[in-house]
Structure 1
Amino acid sequence: MVSCIIRDWQGQEAGETSLSLRVAKEASSAHVVHRALVRQMNNARQGTASSKTRAEVRGGGRKPWRQKGTGRARAGSNRSPLWKGGGVIFGPKPRDYSTKMNKKERRLALCTAFQSRVDSMIVVQDFAEQLARPKTKDMIQALSRWGVQESDRVLLITGEKNEMVYLSARNIDRLKLISSTNLNIYDVLLADKLVVTQSALEKIQEVYGG
């Protein structure tokens, strides 16, 4: 169990909460997290890259020149892989890159990765009511008060999608907004800072807690 300080809209301490997730053993944690990360990245690949073999390239039905007597090398088709405009040898074909991983193992990896980022996590009170209208400037100022640097890559996790928060955050460079239900290991590990609302942390604890 780890303790987290809750900050209000002004950046002041407004309380304390705890986070207790079931994590992998230290000896195997890196391996489990790596497998889950590779799985997510593989599953995001479309696998639509395709090239044509000599049988699929248009043309090449006629023998370019006779077999003997020209002094040139033998040629049976101008769509040979050795010719310009010919087919591709061992080129890519559409394939499925997806890999499987047990659900319990995926959850364990996500919990391990999330709890390992506690030192970079900033827990804030729900602030949707502070935004009467979409205002990117107000969101940037709030992030600054919470201790986020301009150069930091930020992952903002909210309990549920709010239109004002979304419109205020969407134009901020290096910031990604997700809800707690869309928590994933890639975004958690990629961010320099995790800004988590109190309601989002409670949902994460409820869903993934031991």
Structure 2
Amino acid sequence: MAATRQHSKLAAAAGVVGAVGVVSQFVGSLSPSFVQLPQGPEVSSRAQRFSVRGAASANNGRAEAGGSSVFGAATGAFGAVAVSMLAAGTRARKAAVARRATPEKHMIPVVDLKGKQVGEEEMQFNVFSRETANYVVHQAHTIWAYQQIKHTEYHPRRSDVKKGMKPYKQKGTGRARQGSRYSPLYGKVATNKLKHGLDNKRKMKLLRNKHTKAISTVLQSKWKNMKIVVGLEDLEEPRYYDMTDMIKDVTGRDAGYRSTLMIARGCYGKEHPIRCVPTYKSYRSPLYMAGRLIDKFQMRRPRDIDAKGDGLHQTLLARKLIVSREAFFDLKAKFGVKDGWAFMEPEQILVSQMQKLVKDFPYDRMSEWAEAREVPRAVSAREFWAKDKREEEAKKLII
């Protein structure tokens, strides 16, 4: 009886495990985030070994239980569950390797000033993986927003002011003894919880590469609402209604209906902090003067979409993006997945630029050494040598 009860308990436990395995396998087959890969020879060989062991244990269970098939069936079910769990684990590991985060290519439509499509451009920026993009971008924006706080509000604390006179005598009044009016017991005037200038500022650091990659990730995620406009840099007159008509033709919405960000080389301009009028240099930008009064409309240059400015904040707010063709290639060279210079160190950028110059302007080192040997060693002799060289060059020009 005791053996039969023990066998029944094991059978029940194996049945529960088997049910969980079947459910997990069924859910795994329905999950879209994993790719179902075929089983390899290693998995099949392991499955065969587990199935043989399960059958043998089932036969042994029948023999020991005196013909009872409960324990054998439970052992066989456990072997089947083990095989299914092993195969599912192998497929999950292979699927995780197969779906590593790789930047996707997107085609951005190229339109003219009337909104008519004239071509397409490929967009593939350096981005974070799908599993971490939301968290990293949120963290980068949170740190950037906190860094913009100036922490100028200052309230004196108890240690910042004089103690003052004692409010009342120590004994005889029936009240609690007090030594100063700047005690926290007197309310918010003397509390240490009010703003105290830079003492309240926390040390929150945001790495430049992390901030830059967050901007690149946000730009790549806006590919469905991005349009490349040809001829946007060629506008010569700052006309408000021409700008609103262009925005409506390109985005399909009235100007000011959605938050729109325009990125172009000529979108430079700012208002005077005191007079609230455009600065002198702003009048040189027709794009800025034409769109500065449009609601929910911001303009930035490609150089402003950077960790030094508010590029991450503006790209997150934008529901529609209008990019000039010249600015798009600037952003592509800056945030490109293969050779984006924004993710390189200054020394690497200098070396790459020097290598390009060497290819464009080849030179012969041996001829340079030969010419350098002709220069006299004495400084006094070099003056006359240079004078003779100039006279020879002048004679050649005359002839």
TM-score, structure 2 normalization = 0.49
Q: Does 1:101 align with 2:206?
A: yes
Would you say the 8 A contact 1:43–1:97 is kept in 2?
no
**Which residue in the other structure is 2:324 paired with?**
197
Q: After superposition, what is the alpha-carbon deviation per residue over 1:76-109, rounded to whole angstroms, capped at 9, x for unaligned? A: 2223232268412233321444532333322222
**Which residue in the other structure is 1:152 paired with?**
258
Q: Does 1:172 align with 2:301?
A: no
Partners of 1:5 and 1:86 in 2: how far apart? 60
Of the candidates 70, 73, 92, which is equivalent to residue 176 of structure 2? 73
* Alpha-carbon shift at residue 61 of structure 1 (Å): 1.3
**Alpha carbons of 1:148 and 1:197: their partners in 2 closer, same or farther (altered >3 Å)?**
farther
Would you say the 8 A contact 2:168–2:178 is kept in 1?
yes
Superposed counterparts of 1:11-26, under 5 Å: 11-26=115-130
- AA aligned to 2:287 is V
Superposed counterparts of 1:19-168, under 5 Å: 19-57=123-161, 60-83=163-186, 86-93=189-196, 94-95=198-199, 96-97=201-202, 99-130=204-235, 132-146=236-250, 147-149=252-254, 150-161=256-267, 163-168=285-290
Q: After superposition, what is the alpha-carbon deviation per residue over 1:18-74, rounded to whole angstroms, capped at 9, x for unaligned? A: 1111222212222222222222212212133322112324x6511121111123332
**Alpha carbons of 1:142 and 1:43: their partners in 2 closer, same or farther (altered >3 Å)?**
same
- AA aligned to 2:322 is V
Number of aligned residue pairs: 208
Matched residue SS, 1:14: strand
Partners of 1:54 and 1:103 in 2: how far apart? 40
Would you say the 8 A contact 1:166–1:177 is kept in 2?
yes
Q: Of the two, which has the highest radius of gyration?
A: 2
Would you say the 8 A contact 1:157–1:197 is kept in 2?
yes
Structure 1 moving runs of 4+ over 6 Å? none
**Which residue in the other structure is 2:113 paired with?**
9
Matched residue SS, 2:145: helix
**Alpha carbons of 1:164 and 1:100: their partners in 2 closer, same or farther (altered >3 Å)?**
same
**Which residue in the other structure is 2:364 paired with?**
none
TM-score, structure 1 normalization = 0.88
**Alpha carbons of 1:66 and 1:98: their partners in 2 closer, same or farther (altered >3 Å)?**
closer
**Where does structure 2 lack aligned partners over 5 or more consecutive residues?**
1-104, 269-284, 306-310, 338-399
Partners of 1:19 and 1:85 in 2: how far apart? 56
Would you say the 8 A contact 1:128–1:164 is kept in 2?
no
Higher relative contact order (CA 8 A, sep 6+): 1
Would you say the 8 A contact 2:264–2:327 is kept in 1?
yes
**Where does structure 1 lack aligned partners over 5 or more consecutive residues?**
none
**Alpha carbons of 1:98 and 1:9: their partners in 2 closer, same or farther (altered >3 Å)?**
farther
Q: Which stretch shifts more, 121-130 or 182-191?
A: 121-130
* Alpha-carbon shift at residue 181 of structure 1 (Å): 0.9
Q: Which stretch shifts more, 175-184 or 152-161?
A: 152-161
**Alpha carbons of 1:174 and 1:101: their partners in 2 closer, same or farther (altered >3 Å)?**
same
**Alpha carbons of 1:97 and 1:156: their partners in 2 closer, same or farther (altered >3 Å)?**
farther
Partners of 2:125 and 2:203 in 1: how far apart? 27
More strand by share: 1
Q: What root-mean-square deviation, in Å, do the aligned CA atoms of Structure 1 and Structure 2 show?
A: 2.1
Partners of 2:145 and 2:126 in 1: how far apart? 24
